[in-house]
C-alpha cells in the first residue's frame, strides 16, 4: 500500500526546502524526496562554491595590486587550488548539512533519499539512485516539483573520447589548469574565466557570435570584455568548435578543431558553459499528465501551478527565472497563496540579477535595447564610475551606471550598474520599482556618504530624453 501524505516536495533546493518546512508547520504531513545532495544547485555547484572561488580570486587580484595602495607584498602571489577547494568544500558542507538537519528535525517532515518518478497524477515511486530498487510508494493531494537544471553538453564529434568539464566538475580540480578553454560567453563562462585567470591559468573563451553577454546592452558587454581582456583573458569570436580529440593517449588534454581554415586550439582543460536544461526527463511526467515544452521546462501559470490540479513546479524547472532568488521567491509566492490568503503572481515579479565578475554587473527590469524596442516615451541617464568618490577611493573605477524611466508615469523601467559594489547598490532601484513609486522618490532620498549608492540620486538628476 502506498504511504499517504498531504504534500510531497521533490528536491531540496532554495524553493523546495523552505516550502517543505512551511507545509509541515501548517499541519501538512509532508514528504521530501532528494536524489543527490541536500541544498540543490545553489549550495552544491552554484552560488555558494562559485562565490567562494570569486572571493579567493579577488584576494589574489588585490594582493597583486597591493603596490597601487602603498602596500608591499614580498614575492610572487600564487594560488593553491587545493586549499581554495578545501575552503569551498567546508562552506558547502556547512550549508548542505544545515539544510538536511533542518528537514530531518522538522516535525511532520519525512525525508526520503532516492529518485522520484511519477506513477500517476498524485502518486510517486522512490527508487535507490544506484540500484533502482523501489524504496517507497507515496501518494499526496499536493505535489511540488523542485528538481532544478543541469549543464548542457553540446553534440560535438569526438566528445566521447575526451575529458571535459561542466560548472560542477571544474569545482573538483585540485591543480590549476595550464590552459583552460571555455566554450560559452554568458554569466557562468565569464565568472569562471576571470576566476581561473586570477588563479594563474591561461584562459581562452570561445565565443560563437561577435560579443559576450548577448542579453545585455552592448556597451555593458563591451566593458566587461575589456576588463577581462586587460587581466589576460583571451577571446576568440566567431569560434564554434566542430570536433574535439584527446591530445595524449592517456586522455589528458584536448585539441579543439574548427571549420574552415581556422587553426586548432590545444587546451589542458575544456569547460562547456553553453546553457542548462531542466531535470525533468527522468521524472516520468507523462504518467501524471504533466505538460512540458520542447526544452523540458514545465509550463506554469502565475501562481506556479502546472496543468494538473494539485501539482506545482517551482525553481529553475519552470522557466520563470533561473536564479536562487527567483526560486526562493517562488516559494514565497506559493506559501503566501496557500496559507496567507495571498493572491501573489510570478507575473508581477520584476526580474533582477547580477553577473559576479569583478566589478559585478547588476541589472533590474528592462535594458536600453528593450526599452527602445518597446517604442515608449522614455528618459535615460548614464554615469561613469569615475564620478563615484567611493570607487576612486577604492581604486576601482571600471564601469558605469544606467537608468531608464517612463516619461509618462515617471516609474523606473530598468537600471544596470557595472561597477564596484554594484550588486548591492542595484537594490536601491529594485525597492523603488517594487513599490511602483516614481523615480523622484529615489532622486530626493538622502543617501549616506561615502557609498556607491549615494550617486544614484545624482544619476537621476541627469535624466534626459531617450533619442
**165 labelled catalytic:** no
Describe the crossing of helices 81-104 and 16-25 by its angle, rounded to 10 degrees.
Answer: 20
DSSP label of 350: P
Q: Residue 362 and residue 344: Cα distance in Å, rounded?
A: 25
Cα angle: 80, vertex 85, 90; to 5 degrees: 130
For residue 260, the model assigns a pLDDT of 85
| Residue 22: HSE in the Cβ half-sphere, 13 Å Cα cutoff | 18
pTM of the prediction?
Answer: 0.96
Model confidence at 251: pLDDT above 80: no
Residue 113, helix vs strand vs coil: strand
Model confidence at 211: pLDDT above 90: yes
For residue 259, the model assigns a pLDDT of 86
Mean pLDDT for 217-231 is 98
For residue 252, the model assigns a pLDDT of 85
What are the two backbone dihedrals, phi and then psi, of residue 149, each rounded to the nearest 5 degrees? -135, 170
Q: Residue 286 and residue 264: Cα distance in Å, rounded?
A: 44
For residue 461, the model assigns a pLDDT of 98
Beta strand 134-145 with 269-272: parallel, antiparallel or unpaired? unpaired
For residue 366, the model assigns a pLDDT of 98
Q: Choose, from 115, 128, 325, 449, the residue flagged as catalytic.
A: 449
Dihedral sign for Cα 251, 254, 257, 261, please: negative
Domains of the chain by range and CATH? 3-150+277-348 (3.50.50.60), 159-274 (3.50.50.60), 352-460 (3.30.390.30)
Nine-digit cell at 233? 583573458
Mean pLDDT for 382-403 is 98
- Work out the percent of the chain whose per-residue pLDDT is above 70: 100
Q: Residue 112 and residue 116: Cα distance in Å, rounded?
A: 9
Mean pLDDT for 357-386 is 98
Gyration radius of the chain's alpha carbons: 24
CB atoms within 10 A of CB 100: 19
Beta strand 30-34 with 3-10: parallel, antiparallel or unpaired? parallel
Tell me the pLDDT of the chain averaged across its residues.
97
Nine-digit cell at 137? 510508494
Q: Residue 419 and residue 249: Cα distance in Å, rounded?
A: 45
Amino acid at each position: 500500500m502506498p504511504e499517504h501524505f498531504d504534500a510531497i516536495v521533490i528536491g531540496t533546493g532554495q524553493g523546495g526546502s523552505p516550502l517543505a518546512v512551511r507545509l509541515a508547520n501548517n499541519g501538512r504531513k509532508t514528504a521530501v524526496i532528494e536524489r543527490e545532495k541536500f541544498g540543490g544547485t545553489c549550495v552544491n555547484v552554484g552560488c555558494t562554491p562559485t562565490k567562494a572561488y570569486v572571493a579567493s580570486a579577488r584576494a589574489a587580484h588585490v594582493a597583486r595590486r597591493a603596490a597601487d595602495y602603498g602596500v608591499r607584498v614580498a614575492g610572487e602571489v600564487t594560488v593553491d587550488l587545493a586549499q581554495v577547494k578545501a575552503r569551498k568544500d567546508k562552506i558547502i558542507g556547512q550549508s548542505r548539512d544545515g539544510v538536511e538537519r533542518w528537514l530531518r528535525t522538522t516535525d511532520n517532515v519525512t525525508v526520503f533519499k532516492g529518485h522520484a518518478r511519477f506513477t500517476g497524477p498524485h502518486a510517486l515511486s522512490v527508487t535507490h539512485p544506484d540500484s533502482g530498487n523501489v524504496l517507497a510508494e507515496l501518494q499526496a493531494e499536493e505535489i511540488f516539483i523542485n528538481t532544478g537544471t543541469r549543464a548542457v553538453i553540446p553534440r560535438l564529434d569526438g566528445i566521447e573520447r575526451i575529458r571535459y568539464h561542466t560548472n560542477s566538475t571544474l569545482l573538483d580540480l585540485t591543480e590549476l589548469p595550464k590552459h583552460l578553454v571555455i566554450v560559452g560567453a554568458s554569466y557562468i563562462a565569464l565568472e569562471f574565466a576571470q576566476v581561473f585567470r586570477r588563479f594563474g591559468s591561461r584562459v581562452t573563451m570561445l565565443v560563437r557570435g561577435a560579443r559576450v553577454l548577448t542579453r545585455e546592452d552592448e556597451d555593458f558587454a563591451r566593458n566587461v570584455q575589456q576588463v577581462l581582456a586587460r587581466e589576460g583573458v583571451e577571446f576568440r569570436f566567431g569560434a564554434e568548435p566542430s570536433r574535439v580529440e584527446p591530445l595524449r593517449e592517456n586522455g589528458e588534454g584536448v585539441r579543439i578543431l574548427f571549420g574552415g581554415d581556422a587553426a586548432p586550439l590545444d587546451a589542458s582543460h575544456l569547460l562547456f558553459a553553453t546553457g542548462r536544461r531542466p531535470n525533468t526527463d527522468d521524472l516520468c511526467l507523462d504518467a501524471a499528465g504533466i505538460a512540458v515544452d520542447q526544452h523540458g521546462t514545465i509550463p506554469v501559470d502565475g501562481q506556479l501551478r502546472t496543468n494538473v490540479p494539485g501539482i506545482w513546479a517551482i525553481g529553475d524547472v519552470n522557466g520563470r527565472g533561473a536564479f536562487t532568488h527567483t526560486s526562493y521567491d517562488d516559494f514565497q509566492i506559493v506559501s503566501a497563496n496557500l496559507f496567507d490568503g495571498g493572491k501573489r503572481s510570478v507575473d508581477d515579479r520584476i526580474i533582477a540579477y547580477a553577473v559576479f565578475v569583478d566589478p559585478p554587473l547588476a541589472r533590474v527590469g528592462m535594458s536600453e535595447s528593450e526599452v527602445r524596442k518597446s517604442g515608449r516615451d522614455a528618459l535615460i541617464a548614464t554615469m561613469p564610475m569615475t564620478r563615484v568618490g567611493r570607487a576612486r577611493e577604492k581604486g576601482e573605477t571600471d564601469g558605469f551606471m544606467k537608468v531608464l524611466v517612463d516619461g509618462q508615469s515617471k516609474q523606473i523601467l530598468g537600471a544596470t550598474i557595472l561597477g564596484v559594489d554594484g550588486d548591492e547598490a542595484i537594490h536601491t532601484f529594485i525597492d523603488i520599482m517594487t513599490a511602483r513609486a516614481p523615480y523622484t522618490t529615489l532622486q530626493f532620498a538622502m543617501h549616506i556618504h561615502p557609498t556607491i549608492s549615494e550617486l544614484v540620486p545624482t544619476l537621476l538628476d541627469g535624466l534626459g530624453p531617450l533619442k
